[in-house]
Structure 1
Amino acid sequence: MFNSLNRIQNTFGFFTTVAFVLASFIALSDFVTPRAPSAGTIVPESVQVVKGRPHYYSSKKEEYAIVKFSLDASLESLFTWNTKQVFVYVTVEWPEPGADNVTNSAVIWDQIITSPSADHLSNLSPVALRKLKRSAEGKSIDPSRGKLKIKNQKPKYQITHPTGKLAEAEDVRLRLHYSVQPWFGILTFDQESDIGLWKAFKGGVSELFKLPALKKKTTT
């Protein structure tokens, strides 16, 4: 009645249906797991504005800012058995002069925090990866993951502006962001309001400050 091809198709269809239903239950399980990420105030430790080529491939000299910062954050509640990794990054934001409701934003630092089940995906050296795996042995969820205590962190990226002018910009602030990547389900980002057991992200914003005047090089 059924040839081999029909039986293979039916078996594959049944398997994909079961896999889809199982993946749906796993994705929905995130909504019954509490999330309450929070962070203290980000503190800009050192701010400089210099003129030069911010990148080796830059074709012209322009003003760019270098911002060092410190922060404490508690993001461990974002890690569940369905969490693959959490992407954390810090931005610098300031309003565009002369334009209403226009905000400039630039990323100055980022980090990927993997769960113990995804440590093999980390871009780490063999020695650091062995230490990370050893610390996570026997743990489905590592309680220390997501705890950030950063002091006087150097930025990974400089801040620039299309106009090439950046010195003495006002109402500047630092902001911490996160993005959760699950094994199954949807990507979730900064949460501004409570949704069931998921609580809004608290803190992670610095006080307003002003970028300094252009730092000039001295010659002898």
Structure 2
Amino acid sequence: MHSTITRAQNIFGFFTTVLFVLGAIIASTDFLAPRTPSADVFVKDIQVVRGRPHYYSTKKEEYASIRFSLSADFSSLFNWNTKQIFVWVSATWPEPSASNKSIHTNEAVIWDTIITSPSSDHLQNIGPVAMKKLIKSAKGKSIDPSRGKIELRNQKPKYQITAPSGKLAELDDVLLKVHYNIQPWVGILTWTQQVEFWNWKVIEGGVSKIFKLPALKKKDEKKDEKKKTTKKAT
């Protein structure tokens, strides 16, 4: 005869096995939905200045601020198992002393955002007005296609670029890249597709043209710009 504890353990083990199998089946359904993301990113304005990039910086160093435009369509990444998508834009560049400039060993994030699915809007830390708009846009739809579309024009970066050496002026072979990370309700995290796999396609575009960071902005140039902006304001 089995004891009560042994029977409870058997029931619990059977229950967790069933849950695991169901979870695996749910996660595998992601492979049935095609993924065809696309993105175009363009550099609009670049500035390199010397100062403290963050309030907690202990010393002055060169840092770059890159404005960009982004047109992306990640709507195909949403299905019934998608919880949210994390999208970010990074700047990459090779080591100045490296002989092979095609290998980009440095990378820094300049902008990011989170796109939630209609079923996880309650996780968004937004105001009541924006929440009403999200709920209205999702009414009667399992997935709102507009959720995955991003249109940015002359976007200001969230984060400045710094380098371990503290020098960035006149840096060559810099690129902007678009990345994404999909968080499902059940299953594993998937990142930017590097290799085509069945219905999952590599992101179309997603890389800017190679550009060069400008020379360090001098104090006189900053003063002239301030004068111009004050004249325009008046």
TM interval, shorter chain, is over 0.9
Q: Please tell me the residue identity of whatever aligns with 2:42.
A: V
Q: Cα distance, 1:117 vs. partner?
A: 1.0
| Stretches of structure 2 lacking an aligned partner (at least 5 in a row) | 225-234
Counterpart secondary structure, 1:145? helix
Q: Which residue of 1 aligns with 2:146?
A: 144
CA distance in 2 between counterparts of 1:209 and 1:87 reads 26
Q: CA deviation at 1:123?
A: 2.3
Structure 1 unaligned residues grouped into runs of 5+: none
Query: Equivalent residue for 1:135?
Result: 137
Structure 1 Cα separation of the partners of residues 140 and 2 of structure 2: 47
Query: Does the 8 Å contact 2:47/2:66 carry over to 1?
Result: yes
For 1:55, the equivalent position in structure 2 comes to 54
TM-score when normalising by structure 2: 0.88
Relative to the length of structure 1, the TM-score reads 0.94
Residue 7 of structure 1: aligned partner: 7
- 3-state secondary structure, aligned to 1:138: coil
- Measured in 2, the distance between the counterparts of 1:102 and 1:19 equals 43
Deviation string for 1:114-142 (max 9, x for gaps)? 11111111122233223212321232211
Map 1:11-22; keep pairs closer than 5 Å: 11-22=11-22
Which is worse superposed, 198-207 or 50-59?
198-207
| Structure 1 Cα separation of the partners of residues 213 and 143 of structure 2 | 41
Q: Does 1:99 align with 2:101?
A: no
1:163 to 149, 162, 165: 165
Distance 1:135 1:7 in 2: 49
> C-alpha root-mean-square deviation of aligned residues, in Å?
1.6
Give the structure with the larger helix fraction: 2
Q: Quick one: which of 175, 182, 207 aligns to 1:180?
A: 182
Identical counterparts, % of pairs: 62
One-letter amino acid of the structure 2 residue matched with residue 77 of structure 1: S
SS in 2 for 1:14: helix
Distance 1:72 1:79 in 2: 17
